[in-house]
Structure 1
Amino acid sequence: MTIAFSPRIDEADRLKSQRVSARGAISAHFRDGRTRLANLAQEGAAKIRMPRADADPLEAILINTAGGLTGGDRLGWTAEAGTDASMVVTTQASEKVYRASSGHAEVAVRLSVGESGRIAWLPQETIMFDRAAFSRRLDVDLADGATALIAEATVFGRSAMGETVERGMFRDRWRVSRAGRLIHAEDFAVGPDVRSALSGRAALGESAAMATVLVVGVDAESWLDRVREIIGDDGGASAWSVGGTGKLLARLHDGNGYGLRKRLVPLLGLLNGRAGLPKCWSL
């Protein structure tokens, strides 16, 4: 299985600006009755660790050793689960995006799953600081019969620390395809007046934390009632079929990251089946 990175940022420019340019990639295949590591690549501040290489599904923990992101930083992750393989991908901790003096931080994620394979993309929250500028891109390619659980949570300022996000920029782009056909697309953008934009009734209102959870698979619709029970009134969920593919989409929000996590943890634990929630997640 071949893993290709995007073109390298010029070395002279990287050293001059002292910005992060990091990439990590992992692939797994199913062999001898269980999922096994096939390839692993890591560069710069992007590190990947596996607490149990013999576990099935294979669990990969992504680590940004730079300790956060700011304007001009680039971080890329690639995860591939082959035919019949099962993989859970998470992060060691919440990703922090700090104030940008110029430019924007960028995280690009590419996930692919072979026939009858499964992937769960479960990073911990992204925390936005005031005047941060951040762009996140997620591209998912699923083969026929593949399933996916995808979650992203974002917190605009840590209320327990007295932090608020007044101004900044946040862009979030998702594209999910099955057998080459686009089955889910969304773009979210806010800024530069973040607080004003998010406080509207059509946005987060008084909330400062939000999460989107997507399930793609033949039995996705069967989870709907239980998902709605966990989410409660601060969010919602819907399920439908797209070209014969089941899809469940849930969104939830809360006044702070802790309140959001109290519902997100059981929700992801439910949807991730026997694999449960990665151990590095905690309340």
Structure 2
Amino acid sequence: MVAVNFSSNTILSTPVLQRARGVGRITASQAGGKTRLATLFQEGCGKIRLPNTHASSLEAVLINTAGGITGGDHLQWGATVAPGGHLVLTTQACERSYRSTGDFGRVHTHLEVGAGAHLDWLPQETILFAASKLDRTLEADLEDGATLTAIESVILGRDAMGEDAADALLRDAWRIRRNGRLIHAEATRLDATSAERASPSLLSGNRAFASILHVAATSDTAEALCARLRTLMPGTAPIAASANGERVVIRAMAPTGLALRRLIVPVLIELTGAGSLPRLWHL
């Protein structure tokens, strides 16, 4: 027999903090000209709800019942839409990344879009609070003729409270593939330095920013779409669009979250397969 002695000091010096874990996955099939639910899996704080709509597409709302993300939390979202289908994914509200005393909170999303199908990845903004740490990844695999509209937007602190979350940290990576071939990769990183917040080539004092990607079926379609989008953008606003091959990329910045929405909503409406945004997006 081996005697093991535990002291109260040892126990108190190594606290084990509760952390949130959540998984949500949805698969959509296509039948009778309408996209329908095939499978749904949810675990922990990751929940998915399916509101009734009159559209032929299937809309799913992702919910983090933990109420936000902090250091050590881990959320995983997954979605698959069958060939010819149309799936719309959004969130119940803005996600919140709270103060972390240690590790990064992690959010990983994996999307699969069948041949000729369309998927709208339309989460609402993520609000970074002071001293928060968020590591986020988005992966998407598209088949022939599949199209995708995806947005990730960030607000640094709460507008009403006058916060700027100057010490918040963010790592955000995207990898988009067509038939296994990488067609789009990007990475955003905030290191809580004054230069990245104030520099004219970076945030230029703005506290809200968004990246939007649309993958079209062909490069000609992408070029025409980019030209239409530019007509919707105010000439003096910090928002711009570019087309490269089958991709259209839009970047936007604004001093507040509300100002950012006013810039990006007309663009998103033009890009989505339904020509409208989910009801939860309406203020």
Matched, 1:134 2:134: yes
| Distance in structure 1 (CA, Å) of the matches to 2:186 and 2:281 | 26
Q: 1:53 to 1:23 in 2, by over 3 A?
A: farther
Match for residue 182 of structure 1? 182
Distance 1:214 1:159 in 2: 26
What amino acid does structure 2 have at the position aligned with 1:61? V
Deviations 1:160-201 (A, max 9, x none): 2211112121000000000110000001111143x4422111
Q: Which of structure 1's runs of 4+ aligned residues deviate more than 4 A?
A: none
Deviations 1:27-73 (CA, angstroms, capped at 9, x unpaired): 10111221111100000111100112774210000011111111111
Q: Report matched runs for 1:176-255 at 5 Å.
A: 176-193=176-193, 195-217=194-216, 218=218, 219-232=221-234, 233-241=237-245, 246-255=246-255
Aligned pairs for 1:144-183 (under 5 A) are: 144-183=144-183
Q: 1:70 to 1:204 in 2, by over 3 A?
A: same
Name 2:9's counterpart in structure 1: none
Identity of aligned residues (%): 41
Larger C-alpha radius of gyration, 1 or 2?
2
The residue that corresponds to 2:49 in the other structure is 49
Over the aligned positions, Cα root-mean-square deviation in angstroms equals 1.6
Q: Which moved more, 1:101-110 or 1:160-169?
A: 160-169
Deviations 1:203-228 (A, max 9, x none): 01021100011111122222213322
Is the 2:106–2:136 contact (alpha carbons within 8 Å) kept by the matching residues of 1?
yes
Q: CA deviation at 1:272?
A: 1.0
| In 2, Cα distance between equivalents of 1:84 and 1:224 | 24
Once the two structures are superposed, residues 125-175 of structure 1 have per-residue CA deviations (whole angstroms, 9 ceiling, x without a partner) of 000011100011000000011010011111111232211112121000000
Cα deviation for residue 270 of structure 1 reads 1.6
Q: TM-score, normalised by structure 1?
A: 0.89
Residue of structure 2 equivalent to 1:272: 272
Q: CA deviation at 1:231?
A: 3.3
Inter-partner Cα distance in structure 1 for 2:98 and 2:77:
20
Cα offsets for 1:67-122 (capped at 9, x unmatched): 11111110010011111111000000000101111111110000001111110000
Matched AA of 2:238: D
SS in 2 for 1:274: coil
Paired with 2:274 and 2:69, the residues of 1 have a C-alpha distance of: 33
CA contact (8 A) 1:198 1:204 kept: yes
Structure 2: where are the runs of 5+ without partners? 1-14
Tell me, in whole angstroms, the C-alpha distance in 2 between the residues paired with 1:169 and 1:240. 30
Q: What amino acid does structure 2 have at the position aligned with 1:267?
A: V
Q: Which residue identity lines up with residue 210 of structure 1 in the other structure?
A: F
Q: 2: distance between equivalents of 1:206 and 1:162?
A: 14
In 2: Cα distance, 1:231 partner to 1:157 partner: 26
Residue type matched to 1:223 in 2?
Answer: L
TM-score (norm 2): 0.89
Which range is displaced more, 227-236 or 67-76?
Answer: 227-236
CA contact (8 A) 1:231 1:252 kept: no
Is structure 2 residue 282 aligned with structure 1 residue 282? Answer: yes
